[in-house]
Copies of this chain bind each other. A is one copy, B any other.
Amino acid sequence: MRHWLFHYRREHLAGDLIAGAVVAMMMIPQGMAYALLVGLPPATGLYASLVPCAVYALIGTSSTQSVGPMAVISLMTGAALAPLAAPGSGLYLVLSAQLALLVGVCLLVCGLLRLGFLSQFFSRPVMSGFTNGAVLLIIWGQLQVACGGAVFAPHLPSLLLAACAVALLLAARRWGAAGLRALGLGAKAADIGARLAPMLVLLLSIAADLAGVFAGRGVALAGEVPRGLPALNLATSPAHWHALLQPAALIAFIVFVVSMSSAQALAIRRRETLLPDRELLGLGAANIGSALAGGFPVTGGLSRSAVNAAAGAHSQLASLVAVLLLGLALYAPTGWLALMPLPVLAATILVAVANMLEWGTLAAAWRYDRADALALLATFGGVLLLGVQSGVLIGVALSMATLIWRESRPHIAVLGRVAGTEHFRNVQRFAVETQPGVLLLRVDADLFFANTGAVTNRIEQELERHPATRHLVLVLSAVNGIDTSALFALEELNAALKARGIGLHFAEVKGPVMDRLRGSRLLAQLHGRIFLSTAMASTELGALANAH
């Protein structure tokens, strides 16, 4: 695949420029708000938006994915750092960057090992349960900030301010686009304009602050945004690094899952193919970039990426434009950003994440597949009761359990001959002819560790049902692979059947499967033969069995 930079098409430039500007204006309130969610000075969120976004644009495979701070990842980061340092302290800042470094290294190593398939460890219902649980935790936390400290004893000016901001943001979401259309904007421009409401609210609140509205009322402010990039500090105790390892692995996993699901949703609409291993490298480098900028773990989020695509982004240039604009904003005097009131940032988060809550997956899964719905609910409950990290593990365990359960019940059919033909079909569904001494079994799944027990058990059951069997033929027409566990199980089956005077035969073994079996002990010891077709096996073995 050629790099997008070297075959950039000029007609994409306008779209990319506009999308870049729009995303930059989204990034400022979002970055500051998600830094607050981590428990960091809002400024760090801007650096975590800047560097990773540029790094991903140069490496990642999705043309419209925008990488930066994201609500769920910020929640997980805060949960990982909370036991180690006080939020906002110097150590907390250092550890957040170190965590981003570890997350990046995890992703990079997985990418180099080509472990892109790992994003498949989460099923969608489990992801939905996980996200909903995390969002409720975020809402609970941000309600405290919106109330100026405690939900049940609110600081009234803070609460009032947050409530105004929430009302404004909700109003913008509901009527913003219609209002802008009424002002003469096109439908698409109006939609995008409405998305910039958080930036507007931010500017309004800063203006109010400058006008002295909050003076002496005790409303917490964002505080100084330092100019230029801070540096990564690697000097902490080994105990700290060790404590960050497991959270880093879990965060890296969720970073990848979240980013892939966002990128996948965009890719299918944009006729793109994603390369999961390259995505791992891109996200890994982005997180290392965030660490070097003194930021925190980041990922590709659907909300920002979707706006990027909707605003006309055709290529990764849009992200570079956004970074350039944000960088200019940070290089210019940034004192005004310090005036941003925290309750307004909390309101931004509340409105953004409330939008992420969705119960449609639960409803659909409940109707379609009750087991999936229960996995969703268990993950949701796990996140709420045991926290976001245990929630990831519960989700993976449940996804795997569904998978193993499915795989441990392979479809196996007893075959018979369609009279007068060379076709063989399931005896339970077709009127077919069978022979007393020959048992034909077709296994409709690859043979591997998760189903060897079930296959062995089923063979035993069928032998009990067909006590006259002298020849067992496994028809492997649907088997694309046999792993080491299944190979051993077949060796044991062969030995056991041999002791019982029953031949074990194979039919319709596929080429690649046969190639691997050729050097194995199984073929050397096989108490039976290998037939090209089921018909040949049936005819020859039937004659043998009758001769007895």
Contacts and interface: CB of A to CB of B under 8 A. Distances in A.
Interface stretch (A144-152, A269-277, A342-350): A269-277
B399 A493 contact: no
A483 B446 contact: no
A14 interface: no
A372 B488 CA distance: 13
Interface in A348-400: 361, 364-365, 367-369, 372-373, 399-400
6 contacts: A117-B404, A264-B456, A265-B492, A268-B492, A369-B484, A444-B480
Contacts of A496: 268-269
A478 interface: yes
Nearest to A268: B496
Contacts of A492: 265, 268
Interface string A258-272: 001000110111011
Contact of A125 (B121, B361, B485): B485
A481 to B, nearest CB: 7
Nearest to A481: B406
A227 B480 CA distance: 59
Interface stretch (A72-80, A319-327, A458-466): A458-466
This chain: copies in complex: 2
A457 interface: yes
Contact of A269 (B119, B499, B521): B499
A228 to B, nearest CB: 40
A390 to B, nearest CB: 11
A214 interface: no
A124 interface: yes
Contacts of A271: 460, 463-464, 500
B449 A405 contact: no
A131 interface: no
Contacts of A264: 453, 456
B406 A446 contact: yes
Interface in A144-164: none
B399 A403 contact: no
A44 interface: no
Contact of A120 (B272, B373, B404, B411): B404
A120 B364 contact: no
Given A121-B404, A407-B403, A496-B269, A260 B453 contact: yes
A92 interface: no
Contacts of A483: 123, 369, 372, 402, 406
A397 to B, nearest CB: 9
A457 to B, nearest CB: 5
Interface in A421-471: 444, 446, 448-451, 453, 456-457, 460-461, 463-464
Given A272-B460, A273-B464, A499-B269, A449 B123 contact: yes
Given A123-B485, A273-B457, A268 B117 contact: no
A332 to B, nearest CB: 41
B364 A521 contact: yes
A533 interface: no
Contacts of A121: 400, 404
A460 B368 contact: no
Which has the most chain B C-beta neighbours within 10 Å: A457, A485, A496, A520?
A485
Interface string A208-249: 000000000000000000000000000000000000000000
B499 A274 contact: no
A481 B410 CA distance: 11
A401 B367 contact: no
Given A118-B404, A267-B460, A124 B453 contact: no
A290 to B, nearest CB: 25
Interface string A471-490: 00000001011011101110
A122 interface: yes
A250 to B, nearest CB: 13
Given A117-B405, A368-B519, A444-B480, 4 more contacts: A118-B401, A120-B450, A268-B496, A402-B449
A448 B269 CA distance: 21
